[in-house]
Structure 1
Amino acid sequence: MELVIAPADLIGTWKLASIEMRYSDGDVRYPWGTHASGHLVYSPDGYMSMALATGERQLFATEDILAGSLEEQAQAARSYVSYGGPYELHGNEVTHHVKASLFPNWVGQAQLRYIEMVDDQQLILRSAPILANGKQGTGYMIWHKYAPGIDS
């Protein structure tokens, strides 16, 4: 039976619990590590934003946001991903229409996510097959509802 999700079920801020890539050969990888952090926000006006990062990011040698070395900038990009734009909800599918993204290839594209479970505490999203590390895989993202005063 297909889940039917109400828009109100998604609204709010979700904190990343885990993210993994599952491949058809049984391989499971953690592209941002097992201690990744991130947030996913769905607003009532139909916009969303997602950001996630590896658990241990290297600091730049400078505090100047535009003056990091090429190596520092490359490492920062490899350890982080974000995107945002309007979203549409249909049954158990949510489509993110990407307007801005660290990965420029996604701008102007629709990122489809399948909602496998949602309640007032947890949201599980599954991606359509995606090319990651040279092979097709499916992303699984588990999010916990942000709790003000508890989560930092």
Structure 2
Amino acid sequence: MYLSRSLTLAAVSLLLLAAAPPEQGSSKQLMGTWTLVLCDNVYPDGRRVQLYGPQPQGLLMFDAQGRYSLHILRAGRARFASNDKGQGTAEEYKATVQGSNSHFGRYTVEGAKGTLTFHIDHASFPNWEGTAQQRAFTLTDDELTYTVPVPTSGGATAVGEVKWRRMR
């Protein structure tokens, strides 16, 4: 009887643990597809610069195996006149580089610290390749916001703010 009661308690405990919600800010809560809401640089005086315009386009995907893919684009980018990316003008190349940001690799989450780290395998900004980019983040059911302490542009005093909305 004692063994039966112990087994029942153990089984109930396991069921409760399995049904427990994931830790706040855990990787399980990030899994899925997110669309970009904003991508701004914020300066100490409160000024904001919309890096990819007023309606930036973007997609961020986190999977269960710890991989991610992130893409940000300026809406309304001009097409290359030559219709050949190998035959662009200096202005077209500059607009393309400044109007996009993309990277992919693995991610880790430290919920207790409130940090998300992108372990970047490859990036459109080559200086980020092979780096670990840590972000302080907040997460609600449908919104993920993180800061970029050293953004790819904007100068030493800029801090990036990026906001994503979960796709439903």
- TM-score, length-scaled by structure 2: 0.78
**Could you tell me which residue of structure 2 aligns to residue 108 of structure 1?**
130
Amino acid at match of 1:46: G
| 1:43-122 correspondence to structure 2 within 5 Å | 43-91=63-111, 92-119=114-141, 121-122=142-143
Deviation at 1:129, TM superposition (A): 4.1
Q: Which runs of 5+ in 2 are unaligned?
A: 1-22
- 1:50 & 1:133 partners in 2: Cα distance? 20
Q: Is the 8 A contact 1:130 1:136 kept in 2?
A: no
Q: Secondary structure at the match of 2:138?
A: strand
Q: Does residue 31 of the first structure (1) align with residue 51 of the second (2)? A: yes
Percent identity of equivalent pairs: 27
Give a deviation string over 1:95-127, Cα, whole Å, max 9, x none: 0011111111001111111122231x2211222
Q: Which runs of 5+ in 1 are unaligned?
A: 148-152
Q: Does residue 139 of the first structure (1) align with residue 160 of the second (2)? A: yes
Tell me which protein shows more helix as a share of its residues.
2
Amino acid at match of 1:127: V
- 2:150 & 2:83 partners in 1: Cα distance? 38
Q: Is the 8 A contact 2:77 2:99 kept in 1?
A: yes
- 133 and 7 in structure 1: CA distance in 2 versus 1, 3 angstrom threshold: closer
**Could you tell me which residue of structure 2 aligns to residue 13 of structure 1?**
33
**Could you tell me which residue of structure 2 aligns to residue 124 of structure 1?**
145
Which of 1 and 2 has greater Rg? 2
- RMSD of aligned Cα (Å): 1.8
**Could you tell me which residue of structure 1 aligns to residue 60 of structure 2?**
40
- 77 and 131 in structure 1: CA distance in 2 versus 1, 3 angstrom threshold: closer
* Structure with more relative contact order (C-alpha pairs < 8 Å, separation 6 or more): 1
- 54 and 74 in structure 1: CA distance in 2 versus 1, 3 angstrom threshold: same
- 14 and 53 in structure 1: CA distance in 2 versus 1, 3 angstrom threshold: same
Q: Is the 8 A contact 1:9 1:118 kept in 2?
A: no
Q: How many residues align?
A: 144
